[in-house]
Structure 1
Amino acid sequence: MPLPHFSSRLSTPKKIAATSLAAGLLIALLVSSLYTIYLHHKREQAWTLLTSDIQHYLAHYFHDLKTTADSLQPLTLADCSMVSADLTSRAAFNVNVRAFLLIRDEIAYCSSAIGAIRVPLMDLMTDIDPDKEVDMDIVKGTPMLPGKPAIAMWFRNPTDSGRGVFTILNVNLTPYLLFTARQRDITGIALVVGNEALTTFENGLRGTKDLPPEPLRTASIAGYPMQIYLYGNVWPAQDIQLSVLLGILSGLLGGVLTGYLLYTRSRSGKEILIGIKRHQFFVMYQPVVESRELRMTGVEALMRWEHPEAGMIPPDAFISFAEAQQLIVPLTRHLFKLIAADAPQLQKVLPRGAKLGVNIAPGHLHSATFKEDIRQFAASLPPDYFHIVFEITERDMIQEKEALGLFQWLHDEGFEIAVDDFGTGHSALIYLERFKLDYLKIDRGFVNAIGTETVTSPVLDAVITLAKRLNMDTVAEGVETAEQAKWLREQHVTYLQGYYFSRPLRLAQLTEGVTFSEDD
């Protein structure tokens, strides 16, 4: 069954549930994957740092050891009886040194551990090259400690190749660093010299062929034939568990939020219709003042929505949504009915001929019932009392050819037309270039620029000049200060509207605040 046909068979709750489930799974997988990658990245940084710390520690240790060995090189010229005490003292104060041996004529003749000896150099270090300045090997043990692996190091005398210092190091220098700095996901570390390795896996030696493959990190120590291998779990179970848990929680939250948003969206259109049915919408009227004499000559009717649960809904929110949901026509018809119901009271407040501004969206302008809706609205008002000005909003593009005929029809019927919030929509210049309009309403964004040096300021001058050349009256919206009102009057803007004169008022407030007689 094709997907569109299948989805059309699903009821709205099922669609919401299916979409929420899919969104939850997607979010869970995405969050889990990203968090796993994040944890892996953090662990890789920790592995690199740990390897670097070990590398620096050993490099520093071997450097200090070589410095000590260099200081012992002159002793190779003396007899063992003369230097034995000094040699023993040096060994005692060097961490992890098992013994220092002095070499002369390629014979070990003095040991810090047992004193005078005579052992050929090659018997001590079969895998060490005496011609190298520094060389090292890992041995299974020494004559005094045969079962204890050790590191053997050779430091050749720089002036005589037959002389030098040979030292045996305890293996416990490695755990001293590794076990204090290791992480839970590190399974072991190996120090590799040649084909042998000292590891944390076991106490004895291990051949390099027997080491686990693919260490996490490898590092070498400059000047010494030793490598460091770091082993561990690439994807620890702890990371997987945390990622899965976070993914599940994120998926649940994302699925619930998706369901809520879809439910809210599916209900929003119905909420508007329910709001109309239950009289949740009402009209507020904002006075429009003639700029020369500063007297009220009309009002703009503004629809408001007071939801019983959500409170006051911003006009931009519900009007834009009504347009998107093709509900702007019933909403505007309801506005007409509300205005008609208020008309008897408005008659007591406004003089004959007062301008009554009403917003019309392009979606309603191009609807099949537009003309009939306008006729019914006009017929519902007191005859020949109000002068209706339809304010065309710029939220959507208008259809030029159809609009030409509709605007002409409105003029023939005795109505006036204003372009609302000029300069904020994409169709502003089209309105002025191709249609005959009566009023240009300047958006509050331009009015707020008065007295500032923003880029908007010169645009306001251009808008006013353009309106004058087109013989259009101008209405400035959002006038909030005396400075703005003064400047607009000096520029001969025809009408002013804004909080400086009055906020939008309910009918009762308008009736109490301003009164006119028919003779005014």
Structure 2
Amino acid sequence: MFTSASSSGRKILFTCVATGVVVALLISSLQFLMSWHKREVKYDTLISDVQHYLVSYFADLKATTDQLQPLTLNSCQHVAADLTSRAAFSLNVRAFLLIKENTAFCSSATGPMNTALKALVPALDTRKKIDMALLPGTPMMPDKPAMAIWYQNPLLPESGVFTSLNINLTPYLLYTSRQEDFDGIALIVGNTVLSTFSSHLMTLNELTDTPTREASVEGVPLKIRLYGNSWTYTDLWYALMLGCMAGIVAGLLCYYINSIRMRPGKEILTAIKRNQFYVVYQPVVETKTLKVTGLEVLLRWRHPTVGEIPPDVFIHYAEAQQLIVPLTQHLFELIARDAPALQKVLPVGAKFGINIAPDHLHSESFKDDIRRLGASLPRHHFQVVLEMTERDMLKHQEATKLFEWLHAAGFEIAIDDFGTGHSALIYLERFTLDYLKIDRGFINAIGTETVTSPVLDAVLTLSKRLNMLTVAEGVETPEQAKWLRDHGVNFLQGYWISRPLPLDDFLLWLAVSHTPRW
């Protein structure tokens, strides 16, 4: 026997170590891939934002210059005021110059002039409809780089509009928090480069690094390059740390399951016989008045050697071992034992929330179990609310008939932990339910800028349209409670009200009236 136990212990230890290593490698790989993918998505979004900004900007600039093209037919004295006005109200424009026969004869900045365009910007080709150049400076701002763009007049040869632009065309987002996600960005016109790497213009050969992303700007001869790293040592270190932690937890959990819970079915039945299970009660209050209107009954297991076993652990084991029905039947017995004491402190009609697993709902003994539960409680005092969990799918036709029977028998039905299971919306579509219990995951998101808040708004809107009362689980702060009250949630439940309490503590809590106030 001892040899067998020793051999079994070595196998368990080896299995747990192997499990921990596999989980560590898996979690590390997944975390690293997630970090890499997140960075790739950010790069795609950033290059797309810059590209969209520049396309939109140059489209607006083209529309403005199209309106200025007819002015090339007039003298500078007649059009100077209009030209200056256009420049003043055009974003990032230093000056508009009117060109006739390759000669600049009017400027929005200096007025009349007579200078060959080639003398101003030799790189521009006026034979093209649109051409661009990057300049180290302009006569009025010689130390500040500028971008020059030429728009040809479609009717007059060698005529058009020349525009000099401030170099801060790069969108504001380059200088926000996104800057930590990449190394730099470059705007390229021909062989000239304007980048975040230098305050002066560079040549294309000076960009030695390989760009992470590259894009063209439609309508103009301009390219954008984004530089950054696909991954960093910080990503690798964080992935390794997370993997090690997950591996340790997985190894310990494996050891716990194999050494302590090797025979979960027998342990659960033994615990029922030895009264190791007990119930705790968590009050539920009406949102506006914060008065106690009911409670939720929760089952707990105090093991004589292991100590307190988390509910998720033993409930999952009970379901896996097909022991959820006797476990729930034992819960009903514990409730019936405490019901007379609760009757003395809770008002008539107080809600009595009890969790029911789908396996029990579809069992042969369900109706008899419910009848015995109803008969064991004080007559016409409590309103029992059966809370359906989402671990398994309900059988549609059978569940519909059972729900009709329960309503006819005076029981109410709630969907518990809404949004955590795979069947939440199907439940709402197929069945007639009385309460919707919002999972604590949605409540924790209140006050944070996550994608959860709009989902919670949608859940509340849906419940109102379905005429379902809502119960918020896991309310821990007054800010959460106030938000829920303001958004029409009917009932609150959570540590802000009270943690789950054994019967004696619950009775004392009610007597002292520890409920918070608005």
What TM-score, normalized by structure 2, do the two folds share? 0.51
2:316 maps to which residue? 320
Aligned-pair CA distance for 1:266: 3.5
Who is 1:195 aligned against?
Answer: none
Q: Aligned ranges for residues 434-449 of structure 1 at < 5 Å? A: 434-449=430-445
CA distance in 2, matches of 1:15, 1:415: 50
What does residue 481 of structure 2 align with? 485
Which of these residues, 367, 371, 374, is aligned with residue 375 of structure 1?
371
Q: Say whether the 8 Å CA contact 1:304–1:313 is kept in structure 2.
A: yes
Task: State the 1:14 CA deviation.
Answer: 8.2
Unaligned segments of structure 2, at least 5 residues = 22-252, 514-518
Equivalent residue, structure 2, for 1:332: 328
* Residues in 2 aligned to 1:261 and 1:350: alpha-carbon distance in whole angstroms: 40
1:390-469 alignment to 2 at 5 Å?
Answer: 390-469=386-465
Q: Does structure 2 conserve the Cα–Cα contact (< 8 Å) formed by 1:16 and 1:262?
A: no
CA distance in 1, matches of 2:499, 2:12: 47
Per-residue CA distance 1:261-304 (angstroms, 9 max, x = gap): 54544322111111111111111000000012110000000011
Question: How many residue pairs end up in the alignment?
Answer: 280
The 2-side partners of 1:24 and 1:516 are apart by 53
1:344-365: CA deviations, max 9, x gaps? Answer: 1001121111000000000111
User: For 1:220-258, what per-residue CA distance to the aligned partner results, in whole angstroms no more than 9, with x for missing partners?
Assistant: xxxxxxxxxxxxxxxxxxxxxxxxxxxxxxxxxxxxx99
Letter in structure 1 aligned against 2:285:
V
- The one-character-per-residue Cα deviations of 1:178-219 (angstroms, maximum 9, x if unpaired) are xxxxxxxxxxxxxxxxxxxxxxxxxxxxxxxxxxxxxxxxxx
Report the alpha carbon displacement of residue 515 of structure 1 after superposing the two structures with TM. 4.2
**Counterpart residue identity of residue 393, structure 1:** T
Matches within 5 A, 1:332-371: 332-371=328-367
Name the residue aligned to 1:501. Answer: 497
Query: Matches of 1:495 and 1:258 in 2, distance apart?
Result: 39
Taking only the aligned residue pairs, the percentage that are identical comes to 65
Q: Which residue of structure 2 aligns with residue 159 of structure 1?
A: none
Secondary structure class of the residue paired with 1:504: coil
Letter in 2 for 1:442: I
Query: Is the partner of 1:274 in helix, strand or coil?
Result: helix
1:296 and 2:312 aligned: no
1:279 aligned residue (264, 269, 275): 275
Task: Summarize deviations over 1:107-151 as a string: whole Å, max 9, x none.
Answer: xxxxxxxxxxxxxxxxxxxxxxxxxxxxxxxxxxxxxxxxxxxxx
Residue 383 of structure 2 aligns with an amino acid whose one-letter code is H
Q: Distance in 1 between matches of 2:482 and 2:262?
A: 48
- DSSP-derived class of the 2:262 partner: helix
CA distance in 2, matches of 1:368, 1:430: 24
Given the superposition, is the C-alpha separation of residues 24 and 344 from structure 1 closer, same or farther in structure 2, using an over 3 Å criterion? closer
The answer as to whether partners of 1:20 and 1:259 remain within 8 angstroms in 2 is no
8 Å CA contact 1:17, 1:259 repeated in 2:
no
Structure 1: 5+ residue runs without aligned partners?
1-10, 32-256
Please state how far the C-alpha of 1:398 moved relative to its aligned partner.
1.2
Mapped partners of 2:315, 2:12: distance in 1: 31
Residue 385 in 1 paired to residue 381 in 2? Answer: yes
Contact 2:12 2:259 in 1 (8 A): no
CA distance in 1, matches of 2:278, 2:267: 15
Distance 2:379 2:12 in 1: 59
Cα-to-partner distance string for 1:13-57 (whole Å, 9 max, x where unaligned): 9899799769969x99xx9xxxxxxxxxxxxxxxxxxxxxxxxxx
Letter in 2 for 1:450: I
- Deviation of the 1:493 alpha carbon: 0.5
